Structure 1
Amino acid sequence: MKTLIKNAEIVTMTGKKYKNGCILFDEKIQYVGEDKAFEADKIIDAEGKIVMPGLIDAHCHVGMFEDSLGFEGDDGNEDSDPIMPHLRAIDGINPFDRGFKDAYNAGVTTVVTGPGSANPVGGQFAAVKTYGICVDDMIIKTPVAMKFALGENPKCVYNEKDEAPVTRMGTMALIRELLIKSRDYMNQLDAYNENSEEHDKPEFDIKLDAMIPVLKKQIPVKIHAHRADDICSAIRLGKEFDICVTLEHCSDGDRIAPILEREKLPVMLGPTLSDRSKPELKNLTFDTYKNLSDRGIDVAIITDHPEITIENLSLCAVMAVKHGMDEEKALKAITSTAAKNCWIDDRVGTLEVGKDADIAVFTDLPTRFESECVMTFIDGKCVTDIK
């Protein structure tokens, strides 16, 4: 079914804006630009409204730590072993978690969701749409990233179990061991595939096999790191093994801003609309959004749902702007930059012909407190009603 939204202010997030524009789409965007007459099955007059790409939360745990449930719906941390690269978020996501509805009602159409930070290696993240009844039909990309965690979380979890790791050294050592073994396994497998007569096929190892996309730079590693020294350890790890790294949380980013500017790694910043609930959050401030983005660092704003509930993604952007972040950069941080940081910008994050018809209609820019999402489309389907 073709839908036409006309007579709207179109903010494409490509650098192009149309004061009186329209967008034509089915599952994919077919036209976006100045207002034109098109035949369509459904025509929506959005006078006085702003049409934007659906918002993206680049790091959260929607569907993994379920709303209004305790252990029964807690599927984000398999802490029975510190090294779990073979775990897949899609096996733990519940599409009926209330968080998904809260997301699309707020204009959030894509979430990058996955395991928590109990383990040094927690498993595979997935990028999924926020509307659907079966996760297999919601997938944008899986795996979209591998999850590592440094700092307090693994230390605290395994100290309570009286198991390794109980220090930052121990956490990094376990991760290194996995990467070295995985690299050897990959090289043996490649050698066998190139010449099976001269090389033996290595015995299948599901953990090592799961790491091959990381080593081949097919997916990045999302490294949980709040404290400055942990952020530097994440950077070191990326260089040591020549893998692609994104810095998740980065609460101490201000303290090492020159290093982050030099390295130019993607940063998923947040959750910031929360209390300083543990020692490594003691420097938490919204000023970091301005200070890092002004240095040319690709900053995505994240909720880390349920730490900040998913419907407040735009409120985090409002607060970032209030504390000095350029408004255009804040908009990108929940759309185009978020998509770019997560390697899914071929599908979502901007309004362009051929991209997924994930579209949000707002009363004002979502970086402004008064803004309200009045309509959301995912894959061209309206999932909300006009308010």
Structure 2
Amino acid sequence: MKTLDNKRQLFKLAAVAGLFALVGCSDSDQDKAKEPAFQINQNPFPSTYKPMASKSVLITNATVLDGIGGVFNDSSVLLQDGKIVGIGNDLTLPDDGVTVDAKGKWVTPGIIDVHSHLGVYPAPGGTAHSDGNEATKPVTAQVWAEHSIWPQDAGFQRALAGGVTVMQILPGSANLVGGRGVTVKNLPSATVQDMKFPDAPYGMKMACGENPKRVYGKKGGPSTRMGNVAGYRQAWSDAQNYQRKWDKYYADHEAGKDVSVPKRDLKLETLALALKGEILVHMHCYRADDMGTMLDVMKEFNYKISAFHHAVESYKIADQLAESGVCSAMWADWWGFKLEAYDGIQENVPMVHAAKACAIVHSDSDLGIQRLNQEAAKAWANGRRAGIDISQADAWQWLSANPAKSLGIFEQTGSLEKGKNADVVIWSADPFSTYAQAEHVYLDGALIFDRNDPASWPVSDFELGQPGEGDSK
């Protein structure tokens, strides 16, 4: 009897175990059935960036600007394992570390340029290298700047010598929507993937005003500012419809319906991701009225403009920019080279800052990127002459913290805060001086530029030259 009871108990346990197994298979099958038949790979060109090997570095006796408004006199900065450990005079350097005496020198975060065309308009210049504008249709959101970047552009090394550690490479401004931009670390590399800032959001370049009118006025339009705005609105509307199709597809699939996969459209896909906030909108725009219109379009379609670029009339609507949380990336004093740039003033950057808006100094130039510290210094000095009293420590935000915020990477870089990437520059003097030079540039804690060691400087293959007749082969 006892044996029979035991057998019955074992049978019950086996039945329960079998039931759990069936349930497990059923759940697994159901989960598998719920998986969409098609998933879009949103990262088909992943970053392969790897920081260079580095030792711990203690920079001592320096004047330190932390990039977020702080200044520390006769202080030290410790870089360890590619990160900022801290600022102060009680920092401990590991035994295998290196001490750099920066007495009389200044230390800042690396400069971040939000508007560069290095690599897509590289040197040596020429038609063969003109890869920045896909000027075939007014809206070309489907193109990606990274697919035009030539890493051998000598401009990257020139920018490095100017203290630039990170930059956003953008398409040109011929189109209403020019395509995706990409944020890169200024590391000499053979491929752009090795330069891509890991997990940085993509940007999307848009342009308003004269450029699209000039390029498309004789190509069927748009030929007016009202045509420009109609073009943006139609593009956003099409992207909304595209997103609805995909949302319905996923919802129907989740409900167990037999549905067809929507046709993929690379142009509308980028626009839809911008609507969702996964791609950051960067907009070339000069005039205050154009920027005001674009703020309205932004609200109509519920997306976010991360920054207006060039923006020579930002001072006229600085209060609106502050209220909207939209950055303004500006030159120090470029103006007048076309009509929409005519009303620029030299106090533009400090006036935007004084209104508590996000002010940025950018280059849009292979030459300007080499001296962005001087461009910021000009804007700072022009503000002081106009009675706008901004400290140098606050003004450095225009070159590091604010650009990082507009690119969605401020949690990783842009300031000398504990735990952030050790992107650091040691300047020979006050970086707001014309005579200051970037002596040491660190990227993720690795020394990638040493002005005192010319043999270590990165050199593009196209700067090496070719042997001529009579040269040794």
- Indicate whether the TM-score tops 0.5: yes
- Structure 1: distance between partners of 2:101 and 2:451: 11
Deviation at 1:273, TM superposition (A): 4.0
Out of 100, 118, 121, the position equivalent to 1:65 is 121
Q: In the aligned structure 1, how far is the partner of 2:348 from the partner of 2:445?
A: 36
Matches of residues 11-26 of structure 1 in structure 2 within 5 Å?
11-19=65-73, 20-26=75-81
CA distance in structure 2 between the aligned counterparts of 1:258 and 1:337, rounded to whole angstroms:
17
2:368 corresponds, among 309, 313, 320, to 309
Q: What secondary structure is seen at the aligned counterpart in 2 of 1:139?
A: coil
Deviation by residue 1:347-368 (Cα, 9 ceiling, x = unmatched):
2101123222211101233223
Counterpart of 2:59 in structure 1 is 6
Matched residue, 1:351? 416
Q: Is the 8 A contact 1:122 1:148 kept in 2?
A: yes
| Pair 1:257–1:9, CA change in 2 (3 A) | closer
Distance 1:318 1:89, change over 3 A: same
Partner of 1:174: 231
Amino acid paired to 1:49: K
Q: Matched residues in 2 for 1:263 and 1:358: separation? A: 30
C-alpha spacing 1:259/1:43, structure 2 compared with 1 (3 Å)? closer
Shift of the 4–55 alpha-carbon distance from structure 1 to 2, 3 Å rule, reads same
Q: Distance in 2 between matches of 1:163 and 1:366?
A: 49
Q: Shift in Å at residue 200 of structure 1?
A: 4.4
TM-score by length of structure 2 reads 0.77
Out of 203, 213, 216, the residue aligned to residue 158 of structure 1 is 216
Unaligned 5+ residue runs, structure 1?
none
Q: Secondary structure at the match of 1:254?
A: helix
Report the CA distance between 1:113 and its aligned residue. 1.4
- After TM superposition, the structure 1 = structure 2 runs for residues 144-155 of structure 1, keeping only pairs within 5 Å, are 144-155=202-213
Amino acid at match of 1:63: G
Residue 274 of structure 1 is matched in structure 2 by 334
Q: 1:142 to 1:22 in 2, by over 3 A?
A: closer
- In the aligned structure 1, how far is the partner of 2:230 from the partner of 2:265? 20
Output the TM-score relative to the length of structure 1: 0.93
1:368 aligns with 2:447: no
Q: Does 1:127 align with 2:199?
A: no
SS of corresponding position for 1:383 = strand
Contact 2:285 2:311 in 1 (8 A): yes
SS in 1 for 2:179: strand
Task: In structure 1, give the amino acid aligned to 2:249.
Answer: Y
SS of equivalent residue, structure 2 residue 308: strand
Runs of 4+ in 1 over 6 A off after TM superposition: none
Q: Measure, in 1, the Cα distance between the counterparts of 2:278 and 2:124.
A: 36
Give the counterpart letter for 2:229 in structure 1: M
Work out the CA distance in 1 between the residues paired with 2:76 and 2:298: 44
1:173-226: CA deviations, max 9, x gaps? 122111111111112212211331445432111111122221111232111110
How big is the shift at 1:142? 5.4
Q: Is the 8 A contact 1:226 1:281 kept in 2?
A: yes
Paired position in structure 2 for 1:237: 297
Distance of 1:177 and 1:276 partners within structure 2:
32
Matched ranges for 1:197-236 at <5 A:
197-198=256-257, 200-236=260-296
How big is the alpha-carbon RMSD for the aligned residues of Structure 1 and Structure 2? Answer: 1.9
Structure 1 position 66, deviation (Å): 1.2
1:49-88 equivalences in 2 (<5 Å):
49-88=105-144
Q: Displacement of 1:251 after TM fit?
A: 0.9
Change (3 A) 1:253 1:6: closer
By how many angstroms is 1:331 displaced? Answer: 0.7
Distance of 1:343 and 1:95 partners within structure 2: 23
Superposed CA deviations along residues 226-277 of structure 1, whole A, max 9, x for unmatched, are: 012211121111111110102111111233344334434211112x443521
Aligned to 1:293: 353
Asked whether the 8 Å contact 1:86–1:123 carries over to 2, the reply is yes
Q: 2 CA distance for matches of 1:372 and 1:38?
A: 26
Which of the numbers 332, 340, 362 marks the counterpart of 2:397? 332
Size of the alignment, in residue pairs? 384
Is 1:318–2:377 an aligned residue pair?
yes
1:116 & 1:274 partners in 2: Cα distance? 18
Q: Tell me the CA shift for residue 310 of structure 1.
A: 1.0
1:49-100 deviation per Cα after TM superposition (whole angstroms, max 9, x unaligned): 2221101112121211113312122111010121111111111112211111
Match of 1:366, SS state, is: coil
1:191 pairs, out of 242, 248, 254, with 248
Q: 1:36 aligns with which of 91, 96, 100?
A: 91
**8 Å contact from structure 2 (residues 67, 394) kept in 1:** no
Structure 2: 5+ residue stretches without partners: 1-53, 453-473
Report the structure number with the largest CA radius of gyration. Answer: 2
**Maintained 8 Å contact 1:293/1:329:** no
Residues 127-157 of structure 1: CA distance to partner in whole angstroms, max 9, x if unpaired?
1111221211211155521111110001001
